[in-house]
């Protein structure tokens, strides 16, 4: 059903999803040493992003969320 690839999973259509928090906490309780290694790898990977990358990511996120705004959908459909 899912394929693993680093810090994400892929569904059958190839879409990427983050690993659910439940599985991280379960892995942490079952394998604490391996989890600490994974956590340090994630932290090192996060340091590769610059401030400009994070700002652009935030702009993209806000634009994507604006597509699903209830007020805009309601105004277009005449519900509001």
Sequence ranges of the domains in the chain: 1-48, 50-80
Q: What is the pTM of this model?
A: 0.56
Rounded to whole angstroms, how far apart are CA atoms 59 and 44? 24
Question: Is 37 within 8 Å of 26 (Cβ atoms)?
Answer: no
pLDDT for the residue numbered 1: 37
Q: Which residues of the chain have pLDDT under 70?
A: 1-6, 70-80
Query: What's the pLDDT at 55?
Result: 93
pLDDT score for 77? 53
Closest CA to 6 of 17, 70, 78: 17
């Amino acid at each position: 059903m899912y394929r693993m690839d680093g810090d994400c999973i892929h569904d059958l259509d190839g879409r990427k999803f983050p690993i659910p928090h439940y599985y991280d906490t379960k892995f942490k309780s079952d394998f604490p040493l391996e989890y600490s290694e994974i956590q340090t790898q994630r932290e090192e990977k996060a340091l590769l992003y610059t401030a400009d990358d994070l700002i652009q990511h935030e702009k993209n996120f806000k634009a994507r969320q604006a597509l699903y705004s209830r007020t805009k959908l309601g105004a277009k459909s005449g519900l509001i």
